[in-house]
Structure formats: C-alpha cells, structure tokens
Structure 1
Amino acid sequence: MDYTRFILSATIAVAFSSASASDPAGGYVMDPLPESWQMTRQCTQTLPTEDDWWKTFNDSTLDALIAKAVANNYDVAAALRRIEMADKIVKEAQSGYFPTLSLSGSWTKGQQSGAVSDPVGRYERSSYFSLGATMNWEIDVFGRVKAAVKSKKAAYQASKSDYDAVMVSLCANIASAYMNLRMCQEELSVALAHIASQDDVVKITEARYEADLGDMLDVTQARIVLYGTQTSLPALRARIKTLINTISILVGEYPGELAQHLSVYERMPDYRQTVSAGVPADLLRRRPDIMTAELQLAQYAANVGISKKDFLPTLSLTGNIGTAAHNAGDLFGNKSLTYSVAPQLSWTLFDGLARNYRTAEAKLQLEAAVDQYNLTVMNAVEEVDNALIQYDATLSSIELQKKVVEQSEKSLNLAVDLYKTGLTPFSNVVDGQMNWLESQNTLVELEGKALATLVTIYQSLGGGWQP
C-alpha cells in the first residue's frame, strides 16, 4: 500500500470535506472559490514562461528589453541553478533503490605475543594479501525509499514553480520600470511645452508693461510661473536617469550601455487593453506561488509517509566476496576464495516514543501547509479582484480628466485673449496656466497608473493573457 497517498488523502478528506468539487488542486481549498471576478471577463491563458503579454503594447523596445533580461538576468540564472540542484537531489534519493558496492585491497603483516598465547613463549607471525568486494542493499519492501523519492520530486517541482515566479516578477519589474520611464519622459515633454507657452506669456506682459498698458506685478507673476515650471526639470531628468539604471540592472547590463537608446523620448504605450482574467479557479493552475504551496503540501504529505515507514522493519542484504593468500601469486587460487551472505531483518520496537513525535510533527507541518495554501489562494483572489477594479476605475478617471484638460486649455486661451485687451486681470491668466499644467500632469499620471495597473494584473494572475 502507498502509505503516503493514504495519509494525504485521509488528512485532506477529514479536514476539508466541504471543499469545492471543481478545485483542481485536489481538495486543498477550504471554501469554494467564487465563480467569477467582480469584473467578469473571459480569456485563454498561457504559462508564464510562454506568454507574450507585453507584446500587446506594440512596443519593440519593451519586447527587446524583456527578451534580453530573460537571457541575462542573474535571478533567472540562479533559479535555473536551483532547478538543477533539486533534480540532482531527486537522483540522489533514487540511488537508494540500488545497492552500494565497494572494493578493498590490503596487505597485512602482524605478530602475536608469545608471552600471552603460548606458555613456552613462542610467538606467531603472519603476512598475507587480500582483495575483496562488499555489497550493501536495503531492499525497499516497505516503500521507505519510494516515499523519500516522492518527497524530493515534490521539492523539484516546487523549484520549477519558483522559476516561473522569478520569470513573472522579472517581466513585471521591467515593464513597470519601463512604463514609469515613459511616463516621466511624457511629464518632461509636457513641462517643456508649458515652459515655451509660459515664456510667450512673459513676453506679452513685458510688452504691455513697456507700452504702459500693464504694471510690473504682471511681469513678475508671469516669471514666477515660468521659473516654477523650470524648477521641475532637474528632478524629472534625474528620475529618468535612475529608471534607466534600474532597467539596465534588470536586463543584466551595467548602467550606461542602454542610456543612449532609452534616453530618446517615446510616447507611453497604449494603456487601453482588453484585459481577460478568466475565472478565479484558473489561479490554482497558474499562479506560481499557489503551485509552490500545493507542491509543498505534497512534500509534507510524503514526509508524513516517511515518518510512518519508521515504524516498519527494514530488510537489508550484505554480501562479501574476496580472496586472501600469504603470497600475492596465490590470490586467485582455488583455495583462496572467501565470501559471506548475510540477509538481515531489523525492527526497532521501542525508541522512547521518538518516532511518534516525529510523525506528530510531520502531521502538524502538513496541517500548517494546508492553512498556508488556503491563505495563499485567498490573497491571490483578492489581488486580482483589486487590480481589475482599480484598472476600470482608472480608465473612467482618464476619460473625465481629458475633459478637464480640454476645458483648462480653453480657459487659459480665453484669459490670455481677455488680458491682451485689458478686460481681465493677469491673475486669471496665472490661474489658467497653473490649472492647465496641473491637469495635464494629472492626466499623464493617470495614464501611467493605468499602465502600472496592467502590470499588477499580469503579476497577480501569474502571467499574461491572450485577448
């Protein structure tokens, strides 16, 4: 009987008899998952290492950065090494199915005291050569080795899920940094455009002052607005440089090699995406952290099985075969052969209840892993739902903010025209300049927030989607 499978099934069945029948994780989820998100959408999802979610932005620079990062990033390389190490650990556990064989060769020369062994005092001397081979084999009658292999295989699969998590995190971090870079460049472009407009207004106030149609207060107020906008430029340019450095490190290159290319201004990618999130149950088959938690459950269940095996006897076979002779030339003679075969059945009957405590500890670890699994699933559902709600809300805010920008521009143009004719004070022009700049910056920030939320959706889903 496969005790590991029996223990896992029994534990889960008793603890979670109310689990959802549609749960692909084998009944680990304590409560049935909701049938849909609050923002219901449909999709066909791909694996994190196979999707091209970022290509929906039609941005060749972003595509190239992610492709280069997957090839060069050191976190990805380390995750691959961990997979290789876990694979070697599985093979090490599988080696328990096979016997161990050792060879030995020696020459022995000795003398036995005659004062002890013979009343007359004669001593005995000996000198001989020996060659031999020894085999030890624990026959896995009760499945001890099989249970250990199952535990290591679960750890190996968990390491592959960790690799998927690294891939998702890497792509999300690059996309997020890239969106922030383009947002800052857009803010810089807006600031430069307003500086040019504000400089024109300064010239208007100076001309009116020189023509005695205005006073010096208008000139100073216009200059204050201009200088205030110019003050934002150094911080924006510094932010752009630091984001380029961040992207360079994620890509696996030293800062500076990508600076010339990324410093060129480009518009932000299109924030309007048809987001298809599937249904909550898809997360159980998709999110790396949920898959890792599930595989850890399997590992802990296997550990319970291993602890159960300690109560059973072990059957081992030890054999020796060799040759011994006083002269090296006689080692392979007919009378020099030696051998022994020793099957052994051992069974520990009492060990101070140590095995009982180890089994109880293994069961508690399994129960704690089940609780952690349920918490991971619940957090995942919450993250996706919140990201979808946030994205829809941000899209609505963008449409409203566009109207604010349009009206702010009209308000400024009207104020400037009225000021030129002396029908309104310059303070209205100042208010119009500040409102227009602020509304445009808010619009850029909202568009950047929408892009950042798309990255969050990608990360919370554990991968991308296909429209």
Structure 2
Amino acid sequence: MMKTLINSNLKSNVSIMFKNKVHIVAAVMLSALITGCASKINETQHQQLLESFIERADIASNLSGQDELNWWHRFNSAQLNQLVDAALAKNHDLKTSQLQLKSALARLGAQKTDYLPQGSISASANRSSLADAISKESTANIASDWQIDLFGRITALVDAANASAMSQAEQLRLLQVEVVSAIVKGYVNYQGNIKKEHIATKQIEALHQSIDVLQAQVDEGMANELDLNRTKAQLSQQQALLPEIKYAKYRDLSTLALLTGHFTNEIKVDENSEVLLSQIAVEIIDPNNAIALRPDILQALYKFSQANSLSVAANKALLPNISLSGFAGILGLNNTRLVDTQQQWQVNPQIEWSLLSYPALLAQKEAQEYLSEAAYSEYQKIVLKAMNESELSLQLLVKQNNQQSFAQERFKHANNAFYQAQAMYQEGQIPYLELLDARQDVLIAEKDNIDSSISSLIAKVSTYQAFNGRWSRQLTAEK
C-alpha cells in the first residue's frame, strides 16, 4: 500500500497497489449504463453517479495527506507562482476555450427560447395608383408562432445544448490542468539545465587546467602525449555538450513564454537551483474524488449526455408537431397614417405529422443512436485511460524516487573517490590521468544526480496532473 507521504526518501519500502481493479471497471460500466437510461444528466444525478463510483472504487486509498489545492506552492518559488498566475490569465488556448464556452452558453440561451412563442411586429403603409385612381392602405400587426413541447423534443434539444456547454466548461478545466502542469515542468527543466550548464562549464575549466599541466609535463619529458591527447578529447566532448544545453534552456524558456502569452525575448526566468532540492511530498486528501472529478472523465460524460439527448430528440421527431400561430393587428383603409382603422386577428392551431418523411426521420434516428453508442464507448475508454494514467503516475513516482536515491549514493561515492584520488596523486601513488578520471567520474555523477532530481520532480508533477479533479475545480471556482 502507498504510505501517507511519498517523497524522495522513500525507497524499497514504498509499494503501490490498486485494489479490486475489476470492481473499479465494473463501477465505471455501471455508472455509464445508468447514465444511458436518462435523456440528460442533471447535477443531482451526476453527483449520485460520482458517489456510486467512489463507493465501489478504491483508487490509491492510502495516498492521502494534506490538501493538494495549489500544490505548486510547495516549491516555495514566488517566480514559479507568478508564472502559473500569468499563464492562467494570458494563455491564448485558455482564452480561446473561454470564448468557446461563452458561445456554448449563448447557444444554450438561444435554444431555451424555443419554449417561448416566436414572432414579429410589423407596420407598413402603401400608396398606389391605377388608371388615375389613387389607393392608400396602412397596417400594423403582431404575428406569433408557438411550438408546444407536448412530447419533449424541445426539452431534449435544450438538454443537448446544456450538455454541450458543460462539456466545453470541462474542456476549459482540462486545458488549465495542462497549462499549470506544463509551466511547472518547464520551470523545473529550465532550472535543471542551468545547473547542468554550470557543471559542464566547471568541467571544461578543469580540463583546461589539466591540459596546461600536461602540456608542461610533456614539454619537460615527464609525461607522454597520450595522456595529453586523451584529455583534449575529453575537453572536446564536454564542449560539445554546451550547445545542446543552451538549446535546451532556450527551448524551456520558449515553452514558458508561449504558455504565458509572451515572445521568448520578453520573458526572463531567474536562476533558482533550490527548486531542484525541493523535498515536496505528493499528498492528495481524497484520491477517489481526485480521479472521479477529472475534467476528461466529466467531459466524456457530458458528451455522452449530449448524444443521448439528441437521440431522444430524433425519436420525438417521429411524433406529431403541435403548434399555435396567430396574429392581431389593425388595418387602415384610404390612409397611410393608421387612422380610422379596423381591428383584425386570427388564431391557427396546427398539427403537423411528417408521415411522408418517416424513412428519412427513421434513418436520422438510427444514425443518432449509433452516435450515442459511440459516445458511450468513448466514455468507457476515457475512464479506463484515466485509471491507467493514475496507476502509471504512481508507479513512475516510485521508480524515480528509487532511482534518485541511487543517483545520490553514486554521487556521494564518486565524490569520496575523487578526494581519495587527489590525496593519492599528491603522494605520488597514482598518475595524473587517474586523478583526471576520478574528477570526470564525479562530474558525470553530479550531472546524473541532477537529471535524477529533475525526473523525480517531474514525476511528482505528473502525479498531481493525474489526480487533478479537486485542484482543477478550485482553479475554475477562483475564476
């Protein structure tokens, strides 16, 4: 079972286990099946489905601790917090999604107006001449048409529009999760590349000093050119790493700039190597809800609800359409100023049944039912994918914690070996080349330790990204 805290000090005593995976999948299928029985999913039904899901699922039940809201604050970096805030405020993908959500809400409002009578108000004046006879006429009237939702077709269409708006809201939340996670990962990678650049620069400086020493020894006949050439080869190898590291730094900076809505030359990120030493623990107060409330799961649920509502509307289209139309107005003869008018009105109840269009309506009904089944299948896939992602994130977290502990041990031993080699060289027990190799080993071990620290932090970010249901909802609430 997962311990209460998962941090870099956990080693082999940490293990992950998902209990009753068959029951989890069964709960998912059951919740989707219940969903398919209704023409829409309102908040009460939705909450009942989630509660039913949580009761039957046991997702990392012991992965608990402090609240994960604003988890990136645990890095204790004001600069990182500012980048996250800037991304949430200025990211263009988020702005686009917000506008699309407003459009979906507007379409929902427009769809709801179908419950009300539709109509127009008109006024006109007419003056004409025929065979020197001039005629005048003026009219003003109100015309209306009311589609009576006796069989629930309009309700089904409103439900579909509502589900579409809710789906778009979850899409916005999903983008927020991706943006926040990408900002934190980009920031960690950037700080790691700065540290690796320092290590490579330090190694190059040390190799230059070694070459100067070896060149003097070769000139004096105290060393051979083999050692000198091997040292120069190591120097070229380290120098070749710098362009790659500089490009990686620029790539990370470019990613952060894009996410925050800037050009790369407009953003500046200060060095903060302390981030790489962050001993943050992955703590999630309610892992079941953190999975069940993931925006991708809810988005798939709302898409299924939308398809199901459209399927209901297609079924209702096979039934008669009942409407009530009419108009009321005034008519002015022999004048164009609506004086000396006469009243006129008309009421026209109507039943229309598209019997001759039945083959086409049946085909549309069948097509929409297939789309509903496809949305149900997609929902199942999304839920299973979320399960797999959460499990993999936990397994990756354990792997990276273990690897980081090994990398730290390697760096410690390589550092001790270098000091020992330095003392032995000063006493004349080993040649200079062995001292050089020991120094090379410790610098390589230090670089690998940095890589391991970066990977461990990224794994923690990925875990929060997988268990995002609660903290992503909090971001939406703050907006």
TM-score strictly above 0.5: yes
Matched, 1:446 2:452: yes
Aligned to 2:29: none
CA distance in structure 2 between the aligned counterparts of 1:124 and 1:213, rounded to whole angstroms: 129
Superposition deviation, residue 208 in structure 1: 4.6
Q: 1:156 aligns to what?
A: 165
Secondary structure of the 1:247 match is helix
- What is the Cα-based RMSD across aligned positions, in Å? 3.2
Letter in 2 for 1:304: S
**CA distance in 2: counterparts of 1:164 and 1:330, whole angstroms:** 58
Matched-pair contact (CA < 8 Å) for 1:186–1:267: no
Indicate how the Cα distance of structure 1 residues 297 and 443 shifts in structure 2: closer, same or farther if over 3 A, else same: same
Q: Does 1:305 align with 2:312?
A: yes
- Select which of 32, 57, 63 maps to 1:41: 63
Match of 2:410 among 404, 414, 419: 404
Q: For 1:413-432, list aligned pairs within 5 A.
A: 413-432=419-438
The structure-2 alpha-carbon separation of the partners of 1:448 and 1:141, relative to structure 1 and needing over 3 Å to count, comes to same
- Mark the CA change 1:346 to 1:265 in structure 2 (over 3 Å): closer, same or farther: closer
Change (3 A) 1:429 1:337: same
- Kindly report which structure 2 residues correspond to 1:156-195, keeping only aligned pairs within 5 A, or say none: 156-195=165-204
Contact 2:174-2:296 at 8 Å conserved across structures: yes
Match of 2:324 among 317, 328, 340: 317
Partners of 1:131 and 1:465 in 2: how far apart? Answer: 58
Deviations 1:49-108, CA, capped at 9 Å, x for gaps: xx3111011111110111111111111111110111011001100111111231223334
Q: CA deviation at 1:165?
A: 0.7
Deviation digits for residues 137-157 of structure 1, max 9, x if unmatched?
A: 112222222221111011111
- Structure 1: which amino acid aligns with 2:110? E
Amino acid paired to 1:72? K
With over 3 angstroms needed to count, the CA separation of the structure-2 counterparts of 1:315 and 1:94, relative to structure 1, is same
**Structure-2 residue corresponding to 1:383:** 389
Paired residue for 2:89, among 51, 71, 74? 71
Q: Return the offset for 1:426.
A: 4.1
Q: Return 83-92 or 266-275, whichever deviates more.
A: 266-275
**Deviation, structure 1 residue 33:** 6.6
Contact 2:327 2:345 in 1 (8 A): yes
Counting only pairs closer than 5 Å after superposition, residues 365-384 of structure 1 correspond to structure 2 as 365-384=371-390
**Mapped pair 1:229 → 2:229:** no
Secondary structure in 2 matching 1:456: helix
SS of residue in 2 equivalent to 1:324? strand
Question: Structure 2: how far apart are the matches of 1:167 and 1:83?
Answer: 14
Q: Does residue 49 of structure 2 align to residue 24 of structure 1?
A: yes
Partner of 1:60: 78
Q: Report what 1:118 is aligned to.
A: none
In structure 2, what is the equivalent of residue 3 of structure 1?
Answer: none
Q: Secondary structure at the match of 2:275?
A: coil
Work out the CA distance in 1 between the residues paired with 2:37 and 2:252: 48
Relative to 1, partners in 2 of residues 1:398 and 1:10: Cα closer, same or farther, differing over 3 Å? closer
What is residue 334 of structure 2 aligned with on the other side?
327
Q: 1:103 to 1:24 in 2, by over 3 A?
A: closer
Q: 2: CA distance between counterparts of 1:316 and 1:26?
A: 42
Match of 1:120 in 2: none
Output aligned runs, 1:88-99, within 5 Å.
Answer: 88-99=106-117
Pick closer, same or farther for the CA change 1:45–1:138 going to 2, 3 Å: farther
Query: Contact between 2:123 and 2:139, CA under 8 Å: does it hold in 1?
Result: yes
Instruction: State the Cα deviation string for residues 178-235 of structure 1 (Å, max 9, x = none).
Output: 1110110111122233334434444543555566543343334334333432332233
Amino acid at match of 1:58: N
Residue matched to 1:291: 298
Moved more, 185-194 or 163-172: 185-194
Q: Contact 1:41–1:276 (CA<8 Å) still a contact in 2?
A: yes
Q: How far 1:175 sits from its partner (Å)?
A: 1.1
Aligned position for 1:5: none
1:136 is paired with a residue whose SS is strand
2:265 aligns to what SS in structure 1?
coil
Work out whether residues 112 and 125 of structure 1, in 8 Å CA contact, stay in contact via their aligned partners in 2. yes
The CA distance in 1 between the partners of 2:446 and 2:373, in whole Å, is 54
Matched, 1:214 2:214: no
Q: What is the match of residue 276 of structure 1?
A: 283
SS at 1:337 equivalent:
strand
Distance 2:35 2:414 in 1: 68
SS at match of 2:448: helix
What is the percentage of aligned positions where both structures have the same residue?
Answer: 20
Length-normalised TM-score, structure 2: 0.81
1:340 correspondence with 2:340: no
Partners of 1:174 and 1:417 lie apart in 2 by 45
1:396-446 per-position Cα deviation (integer Å, ceiling 9, x unaligned): 111111121122222233334334444334443343233222221111111
Unaligned runs of 5+ in 2: 1-32, 39-46, 473-479
Which structure's residues are more often helix, by fraction? 2
Q: What secondary structure sits across from 1:320 in the alignment? A: strand
Task: Tell whether 2:237 aligns with 1:255.
Answer: no
Larger mean CA deviation between 104-113 and 440-449 belongs to 104-113
Moved over 6 A (4+): 110-113
The one-letter amino acid paired with 2:327 is N
Q: What's the offset of the Cα at 1:381?
A: 1.0
Aligned mates of 1:199, 1:369 — CA distance in 2: 64
What's the secondary structure of 2:223's corresponding residue? Answer: coil
Q: How many residues align?
A: 433
Question: Structure 1 length normalisation: TM-score?
Answer: 0.83
**Distance in structure 1 (CA, Å) of the matches to 2:471 and 2:103:** 31
Measure the CA separation in 2 of the matches of 1:200 and 1:190. Answer: 15
Note if 1:458 corresponds to 2:458. Answer: no
Q: Which moved more, 1:454-463 or 1:70-79?
A: 454-463
Task: Give 1:465 deviation, angstroms.
Answer: 6.2
436-445 or 219-228, larger mean C-alpha shift: 219-228
Distance in 1 separating the partners of 2:389 and 2:339: 75
Distance between the aligned counterparts of 1:10 and 1:378, measured in 2? 17
Distance 2:163 2:400 in 1: 41
- Contact 1:186/1:268 (8 A) holds in 2: no
